[in-house]
Structure 1
């Protein structure tokens, strides 16, 4: 009996000692890893109180590594910025979040608001100056990760004030990871760089989401979600839908875009001729989506080797002429849609013009002709078109081929109701299309 008591007492003392040791460790733990390659902004004078301008303190910390590189850690806090930051070569600016957070409590009461947890940046500089310096500029091998970016002077109930880009990516291999950009006017300028990586980003850009141009080596955009978590108030949100562009691609070689989404914009994915270089976009777009946009995809120009769009989901219902895909008369390049779905009460699923070649393969077209005007799902006014193996679900014309169309193949499609393909072209192949009637 005495042995049992002694043994039990020893176990209790051992457990108590372990717990005390663990508690002491938790109490003494540093706010950032103990490493010569990591410094805290607090050691350079940053306050993180939501009031003090921390711009200079952050820049001192970022510059402290010289050209050697390292990590600047911003622990949990609310950091205010009236100026801009430049992240030098091989330097990482890191907050407390290890995955992209969510703070939609301004729109939905009871949910977290920016500043309630983690590392939050309050950005106030350059209000009303769209062409001013970006808030953060990344350079070769530099990284931004794990923070919330919030523009507190924006009013969720009015037309937004203009601001410069929240982030500009320059040099070679800049990266943005695990960032919430809650309400930027312009979010990410990903132009004039090589091999930029954008991964795990969310928020509600008001005017422009991501802009890509002047890229001569492959860039990557992965897991980006633009959604109106900050505000759906009528004045602001209608302005966003009438003016906003979620993803803009101009001159870029071999861009890889995976798992991206946007809701409530004038244009979801816009492809145009370069405004700062020459040429247009070619790239691989997999698992992309656009909901409640006037146009899901607008192609003003694409490279001759094409836009390859696979597993896309596109919904259009708003605006005077909601249409998922618009290929403009200016286009000369190729566009391919494979295994994509189109639905929502729109006027048409696609309007095609220009002199390029556009193809739809194994796609699902659910709704169109919302006002019963005998509109076709796909209207082709120019260029060349291929529609093969698709499923059309509404009782309205499936394809309209205009007299200026160069070539058209419409084959092996299935339709609900009667096959109704309006063919005014001279060089066409229409074969093997089956209806339920």
Structure 2
């Protein structure tokens, strides 16, 4: 019926590509009827639009192998420069490989309903092993994508304790694209392995939901920042103990080998051996990875670092290592973070680890460094074997492992938490801060100019208000009260640690103490000034409170005085205590008491009050108000006074001289010529009752000896010239020895009044050719006034 009207023609059951159809075509303003095949019409209408898998024969019935039809559609798109390949809401069985190569093709599904079996939306069903279902390969495949599609594999093993997944290859492989392939809204429901990317940078995975038994994503040779966001790995296909526990023993959710700068964020995984496994390949290891927010449940390890020199950061991670379906029992050997290789550098901002067998954090190998800025460990040390929150393996001769804490960790039970770090390791656990300086310490406390800083690699210092107040140096001790070299106090590093000083305080009413402590039964305690510096119980201040400066090498333990001069002011002088005492003579000493004075060279006052030792080598044993009156070597003691010190006292003086001839010679306190200080002189208006004993001994060739004993009354009135001595034996007459031995012929002693100096003159005569030592002791009872 060539001339029949169109309305008179029979209806076509299903138009084939070779069928013809009339059409009116406008050309140069003229309408002309022409014919065209259905294939020609389709090509014209669908030019530059998305293709559909059904156009190439895909059935989507879940029975037919639709892979050849899908491959044909991919090839067709490649022939026209790539494009979008649409999948309807059907189940497409894939039993042979689909390869996208030489073109950019985007697989676009119709979405999916979560959960098995394949339900509404677009599903790919894989039930045959030995091939990769979808592969993107080569440079021209960059920019390809898979969106809004679900995938399920058939696993027929019996669900029992021996269950294992069917060993399918990865669902998708991205190979040698050198650029990005995107995955968006992909559902892998019960697959053995999910996505593998090799030698293709800028991989982008978003909204991935999966139960991938062995591995969800593996990346290697990715040199340009892959990105993985919004991942939820959950037992969608089967949540039984047999399946999930197999994953806990064998599955690694994310495996990174050589990957540069991987970004992972908003990640959740349940039931894996490891959530993030950083391994290695011939191409290298992962560096500069970043994990933003991650929560890992029922995993042996949240982070497992095996590759040497892996580096990366984690902003926030929560993980728990419970054996699935066990009611709280942890997986054997579980821990939150395990650095198992060498040279890793990992930083974690916030880390919580719950329910692990022993250690929440472990560093094995050597030279690993982990920086933790906020750590919380809950329910660890579950075997009660004193397992530490952080276990640092001893690296032996290799570089030690180190963990640096940014804040104090929180360690919680039950059961009783273990220690923070294990013992018996050369590993380092510390909190570190920059070296800083006094004005801006590296670790500030309260304000920017107060805290701790490190002046050198071997010292640590503290500053307040920008000024150093404390420093501790290795091998150099501790300085306090100012910068080193301008400090006020120093504790030197000891040569031995057997003995030490204990400085302790006390409650109100009790004294503070400085004690020698240590291993020895008897320990000395030394206070050593420098050079000619003095020791004193108070700081000299020129007032009655602290007193004047002490003498060179003096020691002054007196703490009460009424005048600034009442101190140990003489060189090498000392005041043992008491009050208001003055030791002004060189090498003079006052033991204590009150208002005593030792002004002579070598003078000494043992104690008492109001005593005066003003002569060279003079002394007062105690009592009150004795006065040696400037006499050399004289001792005096009293129990009080009438009107002035020394007016009612006893005294004692030793005189000496050596003779070698028969010339009369005066005995004196210092063995020199007589003067007012070295003889037995009286003050004006005084009377002394004396006993004078003299002994003489020949030295050298002879061996003669003799003694004399006098009782005398010495008087001195208004002046020295008014001095008189009466004695028994008679004064003024030479007396032979009272007792003697050997040849003492010519030896004599005469007592006379010394009107030049105002005292008692003891004059001796020896013998020519004889060397004789003469010693006299004068015991006196003295009244003055």
* TM-score after normalising by structure 1: 0.78
**1:331 aligns to 2:315 (yes or no):** no
Q: Is residue 120 from structure 1 mapped to residue 127 from structure 2 by the alignment?
A: no
Name the SS for the 1:355 alignment partner: coil
Residues 36-75 of structure 1 show CA distances to partners (whole Å, capped at 9, x for unaligned) of 3301111111111111111111011111122612101011
Among candidates 260, 263, 281, match of residue 270 of structure 2: 263
Bigger shift: residues 353-362 or 394-403:
394-403
Match of 2:404 in 1: 386
1:56 is paired with a residue of what secondary structure? Answer: helix
Q: Deviations over 1:17-42 (max 9, x none)?
A: xxxxxxxxxxxxxxxx9773301111
Distance across 1 between alignment mates of 2:337 and 2:123: 38
Cα displacement (A) at 1:161: 1.3
Question: Which of 317, 321, 341 is matched with 2:333 structurally?
Answer: 321
Mapping for residues 189-338 of structure 1, pairs under 5 Å: 189-273=196-280, 275-301=281-307, 303=309, 306-318=311-323, 319-328=331-340, 330-338=341-349
Matched residue, 2:192: 185
CA shift at 1:233, angstroms?
Answer: 3.0
In the alignment, what sits opposite 1:4? none
User: 2:430: which partner in 1?
Assistant: 409
140-149 vs 347-356, which deviates more? 347-356
Q: Give the deviation of 1:410 after TM superposition.
A: 4.4
Please state if 1:357 is matched with 2:369. Answer: yes
The one of 71, 85, 95 aligned to 1:72: 85
Q: Write out per-residue CA displacement over residues 276-310 of structure 1, whole angstroms, 9 at most, x where no aligned residue.
A: 41233331111022111111111112546x21011
Mapped contact 1:269–1:296 kept (Cα < 8 A): yes
Tell which deviates more after alignment, 72-81 or 378-387: 378-387
Kept after mapping to 1: 8 A contact 2:386/2:419: no
User: Is the CA contact (8 Å cut-off) linking 2:359 and 2:388 kept in structure 1?
Assistant: yes
| Distance in 1 (alpha carbons) for counterparts of 2:372 and 2:308 | 16
| Consecutive unaligned residues in structure 2, runs of 5 or more | 1-44, 324-330, 394-399, 434-457, 461-785
Using structure 2 for the length normalisation, give the TM-score: 0.44
1:406 shift after superposition? 4.9
Partner in structure 2 of residue 162 of structure 1: 167
How far is 1:193 from its partner?
A: 0.6
- Measured after TM superposition, the shift of residue 235 of structure 1 is 3.2
Q: Secondary structure of 1:397's partner?
A: coil
Q: Is the 8 A contact 1:77 1:119 kept in 2?
A: yes
- SS where residue 264 of structure 1 aligns? strand
Q: Point out which structure has higher relative CO (alpha carbons under 8 A, 6+ apart).
A: 1
Point out the structure with the larger helix share.
1
Deviation at residue 102 of structure 1 after TM alignment? 4.7
Which residue matches 2:67? 55
Q: Is residue 37 of structure 1 aligned with residue 56 of structure 2?
A: no
1:212 alignment partner, SS class: strand
Query: 2:146 maps to what in 1?
Result: 144
Q: Counterpart in 2 of 1:375?
A: 387
Query: Are 1:259 and 1:287, in contact at CA under 8 Å, matched by a contact in 2?
Result: yes
Shift of 1:404: 4.6
Name the SS for the 1:400 alignment partner: coil
Structure 1 pair 404/371, CA: closer, same or farther in 2 (3 Å)? closer
Structure 2 Cα separation of the partners of residues 340 and 102 of structure 1: 34
- In structure 1, the gaps of 5 or more residues are 1-32, 106-112, 413-426, 430-437
Change (3 A) 1:80 1:377: same
